[in-house]
Amino acid sequence: TEMGPYTYRAYFENFGVEFDYAGMMSYRGYTKYIFQPDLSPGVAENDTVVTLNLPFLGALIELKARYKHFHWLMDRISYLIERWGQGKAMGLFMSRRVEELLWGYLDPLLYRLQDYVDVNPEFSLMHNGSVDVALSDELTVINTGAANLTALCNIEQLRGVSNVSSWNNHTEMVRGTDGAHFHPWMADNETMTVWVNELFRAVELSPIGSVEKDGVRLLRYELDPSMANADPRFYQYVEGLFNATSPTVAGPNGPSDQHGLPVYFSLPHYCHAASNLAEGVNGLKCNLTRHELYIDVEPVTGQTWRAAKRLMMSSEFGPDFKSVDAHLNRTILPIFWIEESGEASAAQAEVLNDRVFKIQRLIQMSGQLPIMLAILLGTILLFITIAPFVARKKRWRPKMVRGGQALAQNGAHTEPGTSDDLEAPLIQRRNGTASQPLPPSLDGSPSNGKLPFQKAMN
């Protein structure tokens, strides 16, 4: 049965920011989560959940790998569970409060198992960060894009880690962005790379089309279908099931053959994964609207405008531990799934439209301005060339008519352009005819017009 959602507000804080001459920015940071009761209707952090006892299962796997004569130890394990389980351990399962599972608890059973195997008795599914913890971490380094704008916000080093070598004869370089920012001027068909820390690897996101929010056009990105394919480099043998066991157990640069708790990630309810995974667990049903992972990016700025990162964690157990539970079959069981989501506000969209897009339109128009000026200048020059001829023709006609009428009274005829034209004003005055004003001369100067510019994160 699925419980929740339990909603938290995440606060991100980065500090100690420094820039270097190589175009890199380094910093330390942490994330703090605050429970939001008003956004978590019908549930509370003190709710009790029965789920797989992950730390105990991990300890058993480590014991099995370390001791050849494992069965005698398993008989003692049953005794330890009964004595030190405090009623919360039930074979491979346990009963814990939600806040204990998420943020940590001290397990007395694991404490006793330290006599046999190196195991941490403290366990949590998530981590609530603090300044003190962040100060003990190594630096995170990202690219500023100063040398190459397409590398803007790419992660070069994540808390001191620049590559993950605990894979299957493969070293995965830390690369891509964290999904919050990309480079500007993104093409509509461009594939983006995002580093997913839970998976210890980079994944590809592909554009599936355009969407709109508050009048802002966005490119929607989803997990590229090829990411679900089997990939032996990452111990990924089941379709749609990311295997993060090796780097989770051994660390990013530990030995690849380290034994420990199986850790798998997928989309919630095993969307886009092998069908037998969901069929093996009651109550699972993929709903792409609720379970799909997506990022909506504004392509001009490269800023993520709306996103929902959805991942489900699963683990595996089987018949190796029948002395603990006689009814065990090989099972991949979901533990919990998490959604990290957020979106820009309508006010931020208004700022983007008024400041960024307006400037963009002005820049686009300024790129066409030389062509527009050339056309305007050519038109003016052509007008200056033609105007004198038009003006001269207009002067000829009045002279011919006036001159013709005046001279006709005297029995003579004058063609335009002859010397008799010079006498026409004198004849008119002599006959009492009023002189007509000549058309105004054209100086060819352009008008003082102006180019019209259109104004344009549960």
| 326 vs 372, more confident | 326
Q: Specify whether the CB–CB gap between 219 and 296 falls below 8 A.
A: yes
pLDDT tens for 300-314 read: 899 999 999 999 999
- Mean pLDDT, residues 75-96: 69
Give the whole-angstrom CA distance, residue 36 versus residue 91.
33
What is residue 49's three-state secondary structure?
Answer: strand
Position with higher pLDDT, 442 vs 29: 29
> Is there a cis peptide before residue 232, judged by omega within 30 degrees of 0?
no
3-class DSSP assignment, residue 245: helix
Average pLDDT in the chain: 80
Do the Cβ atoms of 241 and 264 come closer than 8 Å?
A: yes
Name which residue leads in pLDDT, 260 or 387: 260
pLDDT tens sequence across 335-383: 999 999 999 999 888 888 877 776 666 656 655 556 655 665 555 545 4
pLDDT at 264: 97
Answer for the pair 88, 106: CB distance below 8 angstroms, yes or no.
no
Neighbouring CB atoms inside 10 A of 367's CB total 9
Whether the Cβ atoms of residue 103 and residue 8 lie closer than 8 Å to each other: no
Q: Residue 402: left (phi > 0), alpha (psi -120 to 50), or beta?
A: alpha
Which region, left, alpha or beta, applies to residue 94 given φ > 0 means left and ψ of -120 to 50 means alpha?
beta
Helices (H) and strands (E) in the chain, counts: 11, 19
pLDDT confidence tier of residue 101, bands split at 50, 70 and 90 = very high
**Residue spans of alpha helices (H) in 179-262:** 245-250
Q: Which amino acid is present at 128?
A: N
Amino acid at 170: H
Query: Hunting for tokens 């990105």 — which residue is that?
Result: 221
Mean pLDDT, residues 228-249 taken together? 95
Q: Exposure string (b/e) for 267-283, b if CB count within 10 Å is 16 or more?
A: bbbbbbbbeebbeeeee
Decide: residue 46, CB within 10 A, 0-12 exposed, 13-18 middle, 19+ buried. Answer: exposed
The pLDDT > 90 percentage for the chain reads: 54
- Say if CB 153 and CB 184 are below 8 A apart: no
Could you give the CA distance from residue 336 to residue 231 in angstroms, rounded to a whole number? 24
pTM of the model: 0.76
DSSP three-state, residue 229: coil
DSSP state of 454: P
Condensed to tens digits (0 to 9), the pLDDT of residues 422-435 reads 444 443 444 444 44
In whole angstroms, what is the distance from residue 183 CA to residue 204 CA?
15
- 143, 156 Cβ separation under 8 angstroms: yes
